[in-house]
Amino acid sequence: MRVLVLAAHPDDEILGMGGTIALHASVRGDETRIVCVTDGSSSQYPNDPELRERKNDEARRAARELGVDDYVHLDLPDMRLDTVPHVDVNRLVEEHVRELRPEVVYTPHPDVNRDHVVLFDSVMVATRPVPGHPVRRVLTYAPTSSTEWTPAGRNWFIPNWFVDVGETIERKLAAFACYETERREYPHPRSERALRAHAEFFGASCGCEYAEPFVLVRGLETHPAP
């Protein structure tokens, strides 16, 4: 299986679905690519190229911890993705869909973070279910410290797809530990304790020890010809 994971910022993918990525890449041997579309730091740390490169390195190390070598880091403006023409973001996502031909695509949920909304909209364009399109399943994931802060009534995250990550939760936490620039002390959502509690909560919600939640946007079940 070929899997494409889109992230707006470095650490989105670890926070929201690090255990699932490790299942795809390390446990199942799926061909997995992570694409981070923004530079990840120009708004948070302006005029600091050294810190930007440090975050890039953290992201690559985190991906390797999950078993992913195919990590692509683009340089669209962090926290200003809505200033980029929609067609340009579409084109970048479409390029990776066309090249990798993934069967499964993950993208951040369109939550309180405008970059997540813009990326989601472009993924919807790039994965339109035209005849012959390779994508069979599109899901959104929930980067903690973003999705749960979305105001009432605005694109609430109501998961309907869960992945048992009991086998890979420690890999997820080890990958997040690579993000020294993003780690915070509990009770901040970007802390090891909060991430474990998040996985425990959703595990208890669906009958396993640890789980990661998703929204299935679209799925197409196909069967081989007899």
Beta strand 31-38 with 137-141 is unpaired
Beta strand 211-219 with 137-141 is antiparallel
Q: What pLDDT score does 40 carry?
A: 82
Average pLDDT over the chain reads 94
Q: What pLDDT score does 85 carry?
A: 97
Q: What angle do CA 99, 78, 138 make, to 5 degrees?
A: 40
The reply to whether omega before 85 is within 30° of 0 (cis) is no
Chain segment 173-206, per-residue pLDDT in tens: 999 999 998 899 999 999 999 999 999 999 999 9
pTM for this entry: 0.95
Q: What is the CATH code for 2-219? A: 3.40.50.10320
Q: What pLDDT score does 222 carry?
A: 83
The interaxial angle of helices 12-22 and 169-177, nearest 10 deg, is 140
Contacts of 46 (CB under 8 A, 6+ apart): none
Sheet architecture: strand order including 104-108: 70-76, 31-38, 2-7, 104-108, 137-141, 211-219, 161-164
**pLDDT surpassing 90 at residue 224:** no
